[in-house]
Structure 1
Amino acid sequence: MTFQTIIVEIEEGIATITLNRPEVLNALNDQVFKELGEAAAALSADNSVRAVIITGGNKVFAAGADISQMASSTAVDVATGDNASYRAFQILETMPKPVIAAIAGYALGGGCELTLVADVRIAADNAQFGLPEIKLGILPGAGGTQRLPRLIGAGKAKELIFSGDFIKADEALSVGLVNKVVPAEELFAEARMMAKRFASRGAIALQLAKSAVNEGLRMDLEAGLQYEHKCFSLLFATEDQKEGMRAFLEKRPAKFQGK
């Protein structure tokens, strides 16, 4: 896969999507969103890919949206325009595979919102997070007001959104914005190790487990429990379920085939 603003690499069943606009600190524009959506759709359909890492490299994740593209927009332009970020983020968030964000340096505005669509976030110790849109007279418009409160709670999310202030990696860990903080030089090794661990599990079970969590968060508890049971039941029609339980009883590692 060849793109202009991102790089996609696949190795040993792990796909890595790297934002590639270093001259503007990986600022996100419609072209980036379009290519992210296309890459995510292609990787979703590629059965050889078992997990996905998204990163901006070892200096910066993404310093926000491309303001030069937004500055002259009118309310009508925004309301009726092509909502490229929404589509791209929906595809990434609902991928039937685990998605890990490996975050170094700034993850601001749309960059921070992009991390929120990942299933797991690993931050380098030099990472900083923030939603500074309020300082521009706008609000986070790529899911920040919806995904962030669901992740860290409404109170802390409102503090970050209303102030526009940045937080460092250690505070991001303490409020639950990231799962883990590691030394910057260990970021990609840690992300790949986690991706490999996820990839060693049954692909269908991973897909349905992810769906059960994501869909359940949109339901009340009783509906979520019913949906979970449906997903649980479906897995008993898979070869992986038979192999997993047989391997457990035979005291050997399971060899999942994604079937």
Structure 2
Amino acid sequence: MSSPADHPVPAEGRIDTEVRGHVLLIGINRPAKRNGWTVPMFRQLAEAYTRLDDDPSLRVGVLHALGDHFTAGLDLPAIAPFMQRGEKAVPYGQVEPHDFGLPGYRRRTKPMVAAVKGICFTVGIELMLGADIVVAGQDCRFSQMEVQRGIMATGGATLRMAERAGLGNAMLHLLTADEFGADEALRLNFVQKVVPNAEVLDEALRIAERIAAQAPLAVVATRLNVLKAVEHGPHAAAADFIETQKRLANSEDAAEGVRAFVEKRPARFQGR
């Protein structure tokens, strides 16, 4: 069976996927254009995110990029007509990769780890902030430069930068369109780990595989409860504690967790 790497990359780029155990690798593949985003790439990315959520054998996603750079951002000549018409490149009914709950789109339930390196501009920052955990290479360069192009960041940066880093830090980088490095991104809580460039994908996979080894129902419930606390407040999240725990405690995975504890062995979770 041939792999995506065996086929030439079309001029408009593509999104490659590869399954490793319970992990879905999602690769941004347009390195000749520094992974600049086109409409087909956005559509394929949504399809990959939707596949992650819909396939019960998949538990975690890893978003990464081929070539030296995560992405230089939008391919503006290709995307501008959609902006001018007020349209989105992602079809309705699919999982929206930026994950901020737009009407007509599904929200991702399973965890996503982002592995970023080289240039990570505009939509790259927004996609990584829409993930759950980010591993960055030491050489990573970030910039949210929409104001430099006469437009606004609408992929989540205006929501998440202040949430992660505070109002002043968000305004500093959103309004100046400046460039900053991996150490600053770590300080601002935009990324969780900074590693040597050659280790970025391996570290992201290590984290994803560790997550995939946990009880899938509990992982999803925990992730969604954290997001509910952030978006709706701690009282709304706490209101779900008893019913969620009751559902989880009656699952086959919870029973397996008890057996594994008693038998002093790693648990073998099935997601049921």
The TM-score, its normalising length taken from structure 1, stands at 0.90
Instruction: Give the alignment of 1:174-193 within 5 angstroms.
Output: 174-193=187-206
1:212-227 → structure 2 map (5 Å cutoff): 212-227=225-240
**Paired residues of 1:15 and 1:51 also in contact (CA < 8 A):** yes
Moved more, 2-11 or 162-171: 2-11
CA shift in 2, pair 1:59/1:201, >3 Å: same
Q: What residue is the counterpart of 2:139 in the other structure? A: 126
Task: Give yes or no for the alignment of 1:40 onto 2:39.
Answer: no
Q: In structure 2, how many angstroms separate the alpha carbons of the residues matched to 1:74 and 1:87?
A: 17
Structure 1: give runs of 5+ residues left out of the alignment: none
Q: 1:49 aligns with which of 31, 49, 58?
A: 58
Alignment deviations for residues 102-159 of structure 1 (CA, whole Å, 9 cap, x no partner) = 0011110111111111110000111111201111122211111012222222221111
Task: Rate the CA distance shift 1:93–1:110 in 2: closer, same or farther, 3 A.
Answer: farther
Moved more, 149-158 or 95-104: 149-158
Higher relative contact order, structure no. (Cα contacts within 8 Å, ≥ 6 residues apart):
1
Aligned partners of 1:179, 1:228: CA distance in 2, in Å? Answer: 27
Q: Output aligned runs, 1:91-106, within 5 Å.
A: 94-106=107-119
When residues 6 and 220 of structure 1 are mapped into structure 2, their CA distance, relative to the original with a 3 A threshold, is same
Contact 1:216-1:227 within 8 A present in 2 as well: no
Taking the TM superposition and a 5 Å limit, the aligned residue runs for 1:128-143 are 128-143=141-156
On the 8 A contact 1:93/1:117 being kept in 2, the answer is no
2:90 is aligned, of 84, 91, 103, to: 84
Q: CA RMSD in A?
A: 2.3
Q: CA deviation at 1:87?
A: 3.2
- The separation in 2 between residues aligned to 1:61 and 1:197, in whole angstroms, is 23
Q: Secondary structure at the match of 1:148?
A: helix
1:181-240 CA-to-partner distances (Å, cap 9, x unmatched) read 000111111111111100100010011111111122221221121124432222112111
- Aligned with 2:39 (options 27, 30, 35): 30
Tell me which protein shows more helix as a share of its residues: 1
Residue 74 of structure 2 corresponds to 65
Aligned-residue sequence identity (percent) comes to 30
Matched pairs, number = 256
Q: Which runs of 5+ in 2 are unaligned?
A: none
Distance in 2 separating the partners of 1:253 and 1:25: 42
Partner of 1:211: 224
Partners of 1:62 and 1:112 within 8 A in 2: no
Aligned counterparts of 1:168 and 1:158: Cα–Cα separation in 2:
17
CA contact (8 A) 1:104 1:126 kept: yes
2: distance between equivalents of 1:93 and 1:105? 30
Structure 2 letter corresponding to 1:11: R
Change (3 A) 1:220 1:50: closer
Q: TM-score by structure 2 length?
A: 0.86
Identify if the C-alpha distance between structure 1 residues 166 and 125 changes in structure 2 by more than 3 Å, giving closer, same or farther: same
Which residue pairs with 1:10 in the alignment?
Answer: 19
Amino acid at match of 1:32: M
Deviation beyond 6 Å, 4+ runs, structure 1? none
